[in-house]
Amino acid sequence: MKLATYKDGSRDGQLLVVSRDLSTAHHASAIATRLQQVLDDWNFLSPQLQDLYETLNNGRARHAFAFDPQQCMAPLPRAYQWADGSAYLNHVELVRKARGAELPESLRTDPLVYQGGSDEFLGPRDAIVCADEAWGLDFESEIAVITGDVAMGTTPDAAIDGIRLLMLANDVSLRHLIPTELAKGFGFVQSKPAPAFSPVAVTPDELGGAWHGGRVHLSLQSVWNGKQVGLCEAGPEMRFHFGQLIAHLCKTRNVRAGSIVGSGAVSNKDGARGYSCIAEKRAIETIEGGAPVTGFMEVGDTIRIEMKGKDGQSVFGAIEQAAVAPA
């Protein structure tokens, strides 16, 4: 099934069930008003939502209406946890190589994950506020999962069973703020503003055969200012699958329902596939020519992130954001 959250003036929005082709929707308020409710009581509430989803797809939902992504918040507008990985080693290798650093051997066997802010997320059409272009505004096209409860010590394969929903993410980064933050010895704070998520979150079965091994085997498209800059294959080069990322978090603690885990920027060794973040393009330019040529995002720029299924239909809907100056 496919789920979304409409803006209604509240912090958590109104839960919707959305048709497979993303054309129509139905309020889920008779079952649950918020997505977190469903995640907290998944075994009881998700079958009811599934029934509504099938009714909607069969054209029998009495109060269906046209689905408008413009009205969407993030599917889960705020979460108990947002942990973002860097599961595509090609991206890590390029960025480190550009600054003359070797890839630590541990990164080949142990995932790199940071803890981000989760008290507010952006919807798929919400603007990215660019307070200062000198901070190096960048998009990062990613896949993310929302979990149920996953117990401490859960194995990677078992952790895959804890995945309830998948969605797309734009993990916005302020590249020029990162070096000084990391030099202090802790993690990202100011350099990682609120990320955005796709209009809908989908259960793994919606992906059919494209979902296996804890990976999504589809192409992720990034369109910057109307030009396609990336069409990266998300499956084969994901070094650490989502089960491994979740198990990494679970090594010393429980992961609770409503946690979101990101893949990191999708990246391929084949340069013809393009890139999922500007930092990677700049890294390649530095490696090949000694200095970056491509600039970061500016006020007025747009970014569109989308993934289509084997049938050519959009799976999650598209993230479409513009960079704007502060009000």
pLDDT (tens digit, 9 = 90+) per residue, 212-239?
Answer: 999 999 999 999 999 999 999 999 999 9
For residue 99, what is the DSSP state? T
Is residue 241 a contact partner of residue 213, using CB atoms and an 8 Å limit? yes
Which residue pairs, CB below 8 angstroms and at least 24 apart, start in 49-52? 49/1, 49/3, 49/17, 50/1, 52/17, 52/26, 52/28
pLDDT at 285: 96
End-to-end CA distance of the chain: 37
pLDDT at 155: 98
Enumerate residue ranges in the chain where pLDDT < 70: none
pLDDT at 105: 86
pTM equals 0.96
pLDDT at 48: 98
pLDDT at 101: 84
Q: Per this entry, what is the length of the chain?
A: 327
Residues 6 or more apart in contact with residue 110 via CB below 8 angstroms: 248
102 vs 48: CA distance, rounded Å? 51
117 vs 125: CA distance, rounded Å? 20
To which H or E segment does residue 169 belong?
A: strand 163-170
